[in-house]
Amino acid sequence: MSLTPPIRPFDASPLLDRVVLVTGGAQGIGRGIAQAVLGAGGRVVIGDLDRAAGRACLVEWDVGDRARFLTLDVSREASVRAFVGKAQAAFGRIDGLVNNAGPADPAIDDVSALALADWRRFIDAHLTGTFLCSKHALPALRDAHGAIVNIASSRALQSEPHTEAYASAKGGVVGFTHALAISEGPRVRVNAISPGWIVTDDWRKPTARRAPALSKRDHVQHPAGRAGVPDDIGALAVHLLSDASAFMTGQNIVVDGGMSRVMHYV
Ligand SMILES: NC(=O)c1ccc[n+]([C@@H]2O[C@H](COP(=O)([O-])OP(=O)(O)OC[C@H]3O[C@@H](n4cnc5c(N)ncnc54)[C@H](O)[C@@H]3O)[C@@H](O)[C@H]2O)c1
């Protein structure tokens, strides 16, 4: 028997026939992840509050029964239970779950004026939603030896003023990620992606879609030379959902063009 390590060809379809659920998958980063899953050979179920956006994806993708859209509110357990049940009934298995849904605009009121309802809006969608979707998908994910990818944020690790609710929700997502990875290993791997500034204006439903209007300064402040696009997150999500990352679990990977590594002196 030869002990020579082989040169392995790169797998061009690392998610061939895998079934991946993407919450908030009808627009923005979630849509980018869903399209990356399709590009990697997978099948996708997008769940989203916005029906028009979900239906537009199916029309524009035109991939037949490789993609489904289901209405979903990740903050309501009955809605999550129905979403996971219908997805499993449609495809017979679940290999991956991407917890992405939730309000993306982080700035609200000063904490001394912050309404409890506004606080809960962020916690319920991002943190409780990640818990609920994981809870209901886990039995199928265990059967498939699947993977979860949670979309956190660089704001779990650094802040602008008046973003406490968002930062707390995303910090919670990072903690949930490593705790669940320890509970579910070796059956299910769980990792998080923390995006920085990802431009999504041209990834919305057709009626809301517009060309991004960023300044040169917006881009060049990033060590990578530009702000991010949904494809940047989709590529890493595919890696974390595929067997190529079989030795990774419990991690939070920052994808921010290097912004959080810049040292500032005035
Ligand atoms: N865009 C960024 O710069 C950025 C940076 C870091 C993290 N993120 C995170 O990435 C994720 C996606 O952000 P985005 O910028 O693409 O946002 P987006 O607003 O473009 O898209 C979010 C999608 O989620 C859906 N959604 C919202 N609440 C929902 C709910 N309760 N149940 C089901 N669907 C719901 C919306 O209808 C929408 O289609 C969010 O978790 C956000 O916090 C975004």
Give the residue among 125, 122, 135, 256 at the shortest CA–CA distance from 190: 135
Mean pLDDT of 112-136: 97
CB of 80 sitting under 6 A from ligand 1:
no
| Digit-coded pLDDT (tens) for 77-93 | 999 999 999 999 999 99
Measured by CA distance, the residue closest to atom 30 of ligand 1 is: 73
pLDDT band at 127 (very low <50, low <70, confident <90, very high): very high
Q: What pLDDT score does 192 carry?
A: 99
pLDDT band at 100 (very low <50, low <70, confident <90, very high): very high
Sheet holding 189-195, edge to edge: 67-71, 43-48, 19-23, 96-99, 147-151, 189-195, 252-255
Res. 107: pLDDT tops 90: no
Mean pLDDT of 95-114: 93
Q: What pLDDT score does 266 carry?
A: 84
d(CA 197, CA 19): 28
Going from the Cα of 110 to the center of ligand 1, the distance in angstroms, rounded, reads 22
Measured by CA distance, the residue closest to atom 20 of ligand 1 is: 28
Residue 166: active-site member: yes
Torsion of CA 37, 39, 41, 44, to 10 degrees: 40
Q: What pLDDT score does 122 carry?
A: 97
Res. 245: pLDDT tops 90: yes
Residue 71 backbone phi and psi in degrees, to 5:
-70, 145
Q: For residue 106, what are its two tokens?
A: 């982080």
What percent of the chain has a predicted confidence (pLDDT) above 70? 100
pLDDT band at 42 (very low <50, low <70, confident <90, very high): very high
Res. 191: pLDDT tops 90: yes
Q: What pLDDT score does 2 carry?
A: 84
CB of 102 sitting under 6 A from ligand 1:
yes
CB of 72 sitting under 6 A from ligand 1:
yes
Mean pLDDT of 21-50: 98
| Digit-coded pLDDT (tens) for 144-187 | 999 999 999 999 999 999 999 999 999 999 999 999 999 999 99
> Mean pLDDT in the chain?
97
Mean pLDDT of 249-263: 97
| Digit-coded pLDDT (tens) for 193-216 | 999 999 999 999 999 999 999 999
Q: For the full predicted model, state whether its pTM sits above 0.95.
A: yes
Q: What pLDDT score does 1 carry?
A: 73
- Domains within the chain, CATH numbers bracketed: 19-256 (3.40.50.720)
Going from the Cα of 30 to the center of ligand 1, the distance in angstroms, rounded, reads 7
Catalytic residue among 83, 122, 166, 176: 166
